[in-house]
A and B are shown apart, each in its own frame.
Chain A
Amino acid sequence: MADVDRSQHEVKKSDQAIESRRNDHEHSVHLDLTSLEVHRGKHQGDKYVRVIRSGALRRVAPGVLRASELVSRPHGKIGHLYTRFKQVLVGKPLPTEAEKVERLNKIRALAVFSSDAISSSAYATEEILIVMVAAGAVGLAYSIPLALAIALLLAIVSFSYRQTVHAYPSGGGSYTVSRENLGTQAGLIAAAALLIDYVLTVAVSISAGTAAITSALPEFYDYRVEISVAFIAIITLINLRGIRESGTIFALPTYLFIVSLAGVIALGLVRLWLGDISPASTPHFESNEFEPVTLFLILHAFAAGSVAMSGTEAIANGVPSFKPPEAKNAATTLTWMAVILGVFFVGVTFLAHQFGIVPHETETVISQLGRRVLGTNVLYGIFQAATMLILVLAANTSFSGFPRLAYVMARDGFMPHQLTFRGDRLAFTNGVVMLGIVAAALVVAFGGSTHALIPLYAVGVFLSFTLSQAGMVRHWWKTRESGWQRSMVINGTGAILTAIILAVVWTVKFQLGAWIVFVMIPVLVFVFNGVHRHYRHVAEQLNLTPAEDRAAAPPRQIVIVPIGDLNKASLRALNFARSITPTPVAVRLFYESYEVEEFRKEWAQWGTNTALVFLESPYRSFHEPLLAYIEALHRQDPAACVTVVLPEFIPAHWWEHFLHNQTAFRLKTALLFRKNTVVIDVPYHLEK
């Protein structure tokens, strides 16, 4: 039975007909790697076709191939180990079409893009109180109107960004709006300010989180820089796993903070209403000498409290990260964020005022509030832990904002094109890594000190707000869409208010260190312009101009084959050179005169009529005489293209490379920057 089967099988084999799926090419190979084999079945007339495909490259349409996951599968044990290690760290690679699946729904997006803004409700009230406490109880009474004013400003800025989101759904936020409406330089200033602020957000929030740990465990104080750098490395790694996964990981602490602070505010209001907690009549002050309440003091407090608004622009930058409809979802998330932040900020300020809480050196305002409302118990512990986590995770907003802004700028040619690269998990890998490295460097440079970094923080963001809102005013003026007058008034008001805050913030913080940002912004703008100039020059030189390029005749060839010994590798290179031109030139470098005769004899036997030139090098230098010869040949026919065909044998094992001179490699390096010169390497792989 088996014999019958085998004979039938052999008959069928002989009946096989092989045809190419595409036979319109004059090649002996199937260019799209697919051919058809017709097989006969066991019954008369049964036929089927086997589509012979390449293992890793799949033909998806005529002339279109797609690399499958198999292409990137590792070879060898070390490759497998490396891939496993990488997959454990950053996860399995995702195909490009998974990009839409990887996008964020509103719940995750709120956690990713809003942790920075929402976390500021943990300290913004304190920032106001620290300034106003100088004016005593009279000054503190201004905290609620100030909080309401900042909340109003937040509403205006958020409303403005909602319009930005709809007007610019491809993302870019302040940079795009400013660039398109106020000019390139305004856009670059906004971008520089934002990028600096993103880096500072990471450095400040991570240092603050580390400070919280070292406060509880003072024995780790000496390792605060190492701990901060480790935190940055962990957040960088999580962000390399893709925006969706980082959103999932960071959602829990964000929502824990939202729920716990909402609970504290609600419970505080209820207990206040019930008279359960008596409002403190007069806060306790350590000094009786107070400053008068001046306009500058109020503006200073207003500017200090406005740090609550940092991070508001992150959603406008990241619109393409949202699930469709992107703009609508981003706008809704922005509204949620503004409402949550506004309610938290006003709520905390109101309760702090009602309970007579004043800033204290050893305990934050929000901690005092939690203790008054919840008591010192487990709930208070959870509330404090959630506060600490959200402060650390504020850094994550920057990890979503910075790489995307860098991508948009790189796409426009103002930052290196490497920043447009998307890694295995569709994250902007280089942007994420760059932010991690710069923030870590900043933490190391400032010794992990929050106090040293804070004066630099939230300075640039108001510049970008102002430019963005001013840009939107121009946008409405240009487009005159329905309701443009109302939108223009809102954006104009926002622009004026943020400009005032900008002036105050810069005046107050300038001497404390904000001058660094003042210097950095023009430096960055200068660098962006330099990068753009380079890309423009590259494009000018490479862009096709119909007249010259299409009509250009193929260049004449001067083909040179440098030869050391006559062997299989050099003969293969000579044969290859003859496939390019019938008249290649073999060049033999020699150091002693007796080498010439010996080589001539060998050449007569193997040289197959190829022109041979001997080149003596009495000073035993190798590539200089050869380069001089190439130069001299080229001078005779400057329009010709010099092709240097290099014979090279490749040892069977990597370590065997160390046993050879690497002359081909040295020559390749020497020829790399030579104009109008092509270097072709003809490898000969050794078996053992």
Chain B
Amino acid sequence: MPYSNILVPVKGLPADDTAIRLACQVAKPDKARVTAINVIEIQRNLPLNSENVTQMQRAETVLEHAEQVAHAARGTLETELLQARTAGVALVDEAVERQVDLIILGIPYRSPLGDFQLGTTTQYILKNARCPVWLCREAIPTAPAAAKTK
């Protein structure tokens, strides 16, 4: 199925790189538009348009890295920065706004309570996004690393 508008939420995790590379690969045949979005979550006690320089710098670094990954994969990537109370809500709304027809999410293998957890943002997107959502889960870490995450 051809896609014309692909969204890749990025947080600065290694799994993001895989998602970006996959998005570039999927986009290539139909020259689809790929947009990487980073969401800065603003605490409820602060105005939504408040600015945190450290978070802003980190977000720019994440987006610049995403561009480099896409460039290395010979793809073109647009980047977007959002500020919201909850990342998942903003991503789903932005996907509707942009008329996105595919979301590709890179997710880490996390098992903080001994069992694999998807994370609230991923769960929200899976539950609410109207377009198809693809997940790229990173490989299960080897034993010592897995023990470390627990």
Contact = CB atoms under 8 A, between A and B. Distances in A.
Contacts of B99: 9
A662 B108 CA distance: 62
Given A48-B84, A50-B80, A68 B64 contact: yes
B100 to A, nearest CB: 12
A49 B64 contact: no
Given A39-B93, A48-B48, A48-B83, A61 B67 contact: no
A41 B57 contact: no
Interface stretch (A52-60, A340-348, A586-594): A52-60
Given A48-B89, A48-B90, A61-B53, A5 B96 contact: yes
B69 to A, nearest CB: 12
B115 interface: no
Nearest to A58: B60
B60 A60 contact: yes
Given A19-B49, A38-B49, A59-B56, A48 B93 contact: yes
Interface in A241-290: none
B121 to A, nearest CB: 13
Contacts of B60: 58-60, 66
A53 B82 CA distance: 11
A556 interface: no
B83 A46 contact: no
Interface residues of B, number: 27
A36 interface: yes
A416 to B, nearest CB: 34
Contacts of B56: 59-61
Contacts of A19: 49
B70 to A, nearest CB: 11
B135 interface: no
Interface residues of A, number: 29
A38 B117 CA distance: 32
Interface string A1-29: 00001001100100000010100000000
Contacts of A73: 71
Contacts of A631: none
A423 B115 CA distance: 50
B81 A53 contact: yes
Given A60-B57, A61-B53, A41 B93 contact: yes
Interface string B44-60: 00001101010011001
B67 A68 contact: yes
Contacts of A59: 56, 60
B82 A50 contact: yes
B39 to A, nearest CB: 8
A42 B93 contact: yes
Interface string B18-61: 00000000000000000000010000000011010100110010
Contacts of A12: 97
A62 interface: yes
A61 B48 contact: no
Contacts of B71: 69, 73
A70 interface: yes
A451 interface: no
Contact of B93 (A46, A58, A62, A70): A46
Nearest to B51: A21
A43 B92 CA distance: 11
Nearest to A8: B96
Given A12-B97, A51-B82, A62 B53 contact: yes
A191 B112 CA distance: 61
Given A21-B51, A61-B57, A69-B67, A46 B89 contact: yes
Nearest to B83: A49
Interface string A46-90: 111111010000111110001011100100000000000000000
B71 to A, nearest CB: 8
Contacts of A51: 81-83
A110 B57 CA distance: 37
Contacts of A58: 60, 64
A32 B84 CA distance: 22
A48 B82 contact: yes
B5 to A, nearest CB: 13
B51 A70 contact: no
A624 B81 CA distance: 57
Given A9-B96, A36-B49, A60-B60, A41 B81 contact: no
Contacts of A21: 51
B67 A9 contact: no
A62 B56 CA distance: 11
A9 B97 contact: yes
A39 B57 contact: no
Q: Enumerate the 8 nearest inter-chain pairs by beta-carbon distance, A residue then B residue, closest first.
A: A48-B84, A48-B90, A41-B93, A49-B83, A51-B81, A58-B60, A61-B53, A60-B57
7 contacts: A41-B93, A42-B93, A48-B84, A48-B93, A50-B82, A61-B56, A62-B53
